[in-house]
A and B are shown apart, each in its own frame.
Chain A
Amino acid sequence: MAAIAEWLKIDEERAVQALQEAGGTMDSREGDLLLDFSCIRRIQPSSLKVMEEFAGIADGKGVKIVLRGVSVDVYRVFKLVKLASRFSFVS
C-alpha cells in the first residue's frame, strides 16, 4: 500500500525553527521532503538562508524538497534569490 505523504506545516512566526527541524529529518528520510508554506505570508532573510542551506544538503542526499501553498509573492522571492529551481512546487 502506498504511503500517504506527510506535509510539514511551516509556521510564519517560527519559520526558521520549523525549517531547521524539517532539515534535520533529511538524514533519516528516504522519500521527498514535503513542506507546507500556506501559512507563510512573507518570507524573511533568515528563512531564506536556512532554505538555501538545506537545498544544498538535499542535493547531496538526493532528496527532493517539495513546497506547497507558496504564495506568488514568496515564489517571486525564491526566483529573485535563485532558489526556485532547487525546489519543486505544488499547488
Chain B
Amino acid sequence: MNTSEAVRERVLIPVAAEGLTEERIAYLEGLVGQARTAAAVFTQFTQEDVDRIVKPMVLAGLEQAQYLARLAVEETKLGVMEDKVLKNMVATEFAYDYVKDKRTVGIIREIPERNLVEMAEPIGVIFSLTPITNPTSTVLFKCIMAIKTRNAVIFSPHPNAWRCCSEAVRIMYEAALKHGAPEGVFSCLESHTLQDNAYLMRHKDVRLIDATGGPGAVKAAYSSGKPALGVGAGNTPVYLEKTADLNTAVVDIIVSKTFDNGTICASEQTVVIDDEIYDPVLKKFADLGAHICNEKETELLGRTVIDPKTGFMQGMAVGQKATDIARLAGLSVKPDTKLLIAPIHGVGREHPLSAETLFPVLAVYRAKSVDEALKVCVDVNHAGGLGHTAVIFSRNDEIIRKFGEVMNAGRIIVNSPGSVGALGGVYNDLVPTFSFGCGTGGGNSTTDNTNIYHYLNIKRVARRTQAHMWYRVPNQIYFNMNAVENVRDLPSRCTIIITNPSLEKFGHVDIVRRYISPQTHVHVSVIPDAEPEIKVIMQGVEALTFYKADQIIALGGGSVIDAAKIMKLKYESPQADLEELAAPFLDLRKRVVEYPTEKVNRVRLVAIPTTSGTGSEVTPFAVLTDKERRRKVTLADYSLTPDVAIVDPQFVLSMPKGLTADTGIDCLTHALEAAVSSYASPYTDCNAMQAIRMVFKYLPIAYEHPRDEEARCMMHNAACIAAMAFSNASVGVNHALAHAFGAHFGVAHGRANALMLPHVIAYNAAVPTKFVPSPYQKGHVAHNKYATIADLLGLGGHTVEEKVKNLITAVEQLLDQLEFPRSIAELGISKEDFERAIPELTSLAFDDPSGRSNPRMPLMTELADLFRSAYQGRGLTKGAKTFQKRTA
C-alpha cells in the first residue's frame, strides 16, 4: 500500500491530505498512531491509577506557573505576566479542586431510584486547538482533563504561542509519564500549517476536536464532520443597574476588563448604566484609574482599534495595555491609566466600540430606563456575543431574573467580574474552565463551561425496572341477596335515582327507595334503555344541579351506570371537556389529558347493576354515544369508578335467557382477557381465575334455571369480580373485534364476544408473529395462563398445548350449551357483505384501545383472519386446529 492509499484509508476526506508531503503525512500519522495506542492502553487504567497521575501533574503545573506565564508573555506579546500566572494556577489548582473527587472511570453515578447506572467511556484521541490569548493555561487545563478521563491529546497551539504551549505540554507529559501514564498520551504538533490541522481534524482515529481558538479554527473543527467542542466569540453586555453596590461593581469591572489586559473573551465589553447613577459611576471609574474619553477621543479610539472594513477588533490592540492603546490612538492619558472608557450612543457598525474588544477599552451607554437598558444589552448580546457571557450588577431580583431571560448567554454573571467569574470556581460555583461553550447562538453544541464530562462518553446502564402496578376498586362493595339494604347506611340529603323505564316498571326502583331514609329527598330520573347520549347526560346534570344532589344511585345495566358516571363527572366538574377527556392514550398513568380534580360539587355514586356482565359498577370506564357525530366516546379514568357498588342478585332474577347468556359470556370474556392481558398482575389474576371458575359452573345453571338464586347470585358476583380484574388489567383483542363487529352489524356485545372467543384464545396462545412490548410481564405467558385456567377447571391434558386445546373445547361446549350461533354466517350476514366490511372492521378493531393490552400484538392481517375465522365458524376441533397450526 503506498502512502496515498494509506491516506485514503486513514482520513475521512482524502482531500485533507492535499498540500502535504509524504514525510509530513508520515509524521502526522506517527502522532495519531502513538496517541491511539496510548488511548487504547489507557482504557485498562482504574480510577486510582488515573488519580495517581493527575495530582503530580497539577503540582508540576503549579510549580511552573510563573515560568510558563513569562514564556507566554514573551512569545505572544499579549497580556500581563502576573495575571497569566494566576490563570495558570486557576487552570491547575481550581481544575484539580473540581475533578479530584469526581469519578471518571467505570461507574461514575448511580441512580438507584431509577435503576440507572452511568459509566464512563473515554473518547480516545482528541485533537486540541489552543489560543494565543490564554495559551499555557488552556494547555494545562486540557491536559488535566484528558488524564482524568483517560484520553490522549494531540495539541495544535496557535502559531504565535507554539513555544510556550509546547513547553506546557512537555511539563504535563513528563509529570504524567513519570506517574504511569501511557507513552504518547500527549503530543504537540511541531510548527504546523492549516493543512496539518485539516488532516488531523479529518483523521478517522481522531475522535473529538476541542477547538479553543478563533472563529476560523472553530468553524474548521465543526466543518470537519467530527464531534467537536468549540467556543464562540464573545461580546459581553453588562447592565449596571441603579440598585447595585456601585463600589463593588466598578472595582469588579476594572478587575475583569484589565485582567490579562482583557484577553479573556468573557470580559466586559459594553456597560449599560442607569441614568440615575451614570455620572457617579463614571466618576468612580475615573477615580480608580480609568480615562473617560470625550466624543472625539471615542471616535479616534474606535477608528484605531476596530477595523472599519470588518467591524472587528484590530489584532495589534489585543492584550495590550490601556496606555499603549491610547498612544496608538493618539490620546493623551495619565501614565497609570488602567482602562479607557468610551461613551457610546448605540450598538452596531456605526458605533465601532460596541464590538468585542479583547483589550482594556470599555464602552459605556447611558440608559434612561430599565427597558432601554435591557434592550441595549440585547443589542450587544446579538452583536457578536450570542451564547457567551452577560453580566449584571443589581440587587433587584426581578430585574436579574428578567436579564437572565432575555440574554442568550451560557454564563450570566451576577454581581461579579465577567472574565474571572466566567472561568468558574473563583467568584461563583460555575465549573472551572478555559473553554466557554456558547450553545447554538455561538455555533457550538453546548453552553457549558467545558469540563471533564465533555471528555467522556457517558454510558447509561438501564436495568429493567419493576413497573409500578395498581389495583383500584370502589371503596365499598356489598354483595349477595338483599345487599341493597346497605343503602340505608349511606346518608344523603338529596338522592337522584338514575334508571330506565323497564326497571321502574318492574318495581326495582321501589325496592331501592325502601332503604333510603325518609328524610332524604329522592328524585327519579328515567333515561332511555340505550347507550347514553350527551343530551341525556346533560339533562341528568341539570337535575343534579337543580336538586343540589349529594348522592346518585344508578340502578340498571351498563348503560345506566355509565350515564351516571358521566353525569357525576360533569356535575362535579362542569368545566370537564368530554371530547378532550376521551383522547386516546397508551398508558393510563402517562396520558396527556388529565381528569379534573377541582370540583364545584361533591356527589356519591352508588351503582346497583341489574345485569350480570358489564361490571360497570366497579369499572373506571364509561361509554356514551355522540349521535350528532355518529360515534361513541369512551372515557376511562379511575375517578369515574363508582364510590359504592351493590351487587344484589334480586335485580337479575328476571333477566331473560338470551340476556343471561350474552352478559354471562361478556363476563367470561372479561375474565379470560384480563387473565392473559399484558397488564395482568397477581391481584387481577385471582379475580380473573375465580370469575372463570364461577362462570363455567353457574352460567349454564342460571341459563337453564333463571330462578336459581344461588346460580344468579354467583353469576352476579362473577361479573363484578371479572370486572375488578379487567378494570385493572384491561381486556384484549376479543373486545376490539367484538366492538367493531357488533357496532357495524348491530350484534349484541356478548354475542359478538362469543363469536370471537375460541378463535382469539387459539390466536393468543400461539407464538406471536409480533411480540408486544410489555414491561409488566416476563416473556410470553398467555399459553401458560390458559393452561393454568384449564387446570383450574379440571379439563385435563398433559402438555400446555393439550390444556389450551381443552380450554378452547370447553369454551365451545359452553357456547353450545348457551345456544350461541356457531358462526357469523349463521347470523344471516352474507359472505360478500362481510368481506366488504372487513377492511373497515379491521381498521376499527386495530384502533380500539382494548387491543393494546392484548398479549400478542395484533397485525392488521391477523385481525382480518380472525374475522374470517369467526365468519366461517367454529367446530369442536377448529380452535384446536388453528392453535396447532399456529404453534407449528
A residues sitting closer than 8 Å to B (CB atoms) are 42-46, 48-49, 73-74, 76-77, 80-81
Contacts and interface: CB of A to CB of B under 8 A. Distances in A.
Contacts of A44: 41, 182
Interface string B14-34: 000000000000000000001
Q: Which among A49, A76, A77 has the greatest number of chain B C-beta atoms within 10 A? A: A77
B40 interface: yes
Q: Mostly helix, strand, loop or mixed at chain A's interface?
A: helix
Contacts of B41: 42-45, 48, 77
A49 B183 CA distance: 12
Interface string B113-145: 000000000001000000000000000000000
Contact of B124 (A42, A74, A80): A80
A81 B40 contact: yes
Contacts of B36: 80-81
B44 A42 contact: yes
Nearest to B45: A42
Contacts of A76: 40, 43
Interface in B156-183: 182-183
Contacts of A80: 36, 39-40, 43, 124
Contacts of A49: 37
B3 to A, nearest CB: 17
Residue among B41, B43, B124, B183 facing the most chain A CB atoms (10 A cut-off): B41
Given A45-B182, A45-B183, A80-B124, A73 B37 contact: no
13 contacts: A42-B44, A43-B44, A44-B41, A45-B182, A46-B183, A48-B37, A48-B41, A76-B40, A77-B40, A77-B41, A80-B39, A80-B43, A81-B36
A1 B40 CA distance: 43
A76 to B, nearest CB: 6
Contacts of B262: none
Nearest to B184: A45
A77 B43 CA distance: 7
B40 A48 contact: yes
A45 B38 contact: yes
B44 A77 contact: yes
Interface of B: 34, 36-41, 43-44, 124, 182-184
Nearest to A52: B37
A80 B41 CA distance: 9
Contacts of A73: 43-44
A49 B184 CA distance: 12
A73 B106 CA distance: 12
A74 to B, nearest CB: 7
A45 B37 contact: yes
Nearest to B41: A45
Question: Which 3 residue pairs across A and B have the least CB separation, nearest first?
Answer: A80-B40, A77-B40, A42-B44
Nearest to A48: B37
Nearest to A41: B44
A39 B539 CA distance: 85
Given A45-B184, A49-B37, 8 more contacts: A45-B183, A46-B183, A73-B44, A76-B40, A77-B43, A77-B44, A80-B39, A81-B40
A81 B34 CA distance: 10
A74 B39 contact: no
Nearest to B38: A45
Contacts of B38: 45
Contacts of B37: 45, 48-49, 81
A45 B43 contact: no
A81 B124 CA distance: 11
A50 to B, nearest CB: 12
B125 to A, nearest CB: 10
A4 B34 CA distance: 38
B1 to A, nearest CB: 12
Contacts of B44: 42-43, 73-74, 77
B34 A45 contact: yes
A76 B39 CA distance: 11
Contacts of A46: 183
Contacts of B34: 45
Contacts of B43: 73, 76-77, 80
Contacts of A77: 40-41, 43-44
A34 B38 CA distance: 26
A86 B44 CA distance: 21
A74 B34 CA distance: 17
Contacts of B184: 45
Contacts of A81: 36-37, 40
A16 B182 CA distance: 15
B208 to A, nearest CB: 15
Nearest to A46: B183
A80 B123 CA distance: 11
A53 to B, nearest CB: 13
A20 to B, nearest CB: 17
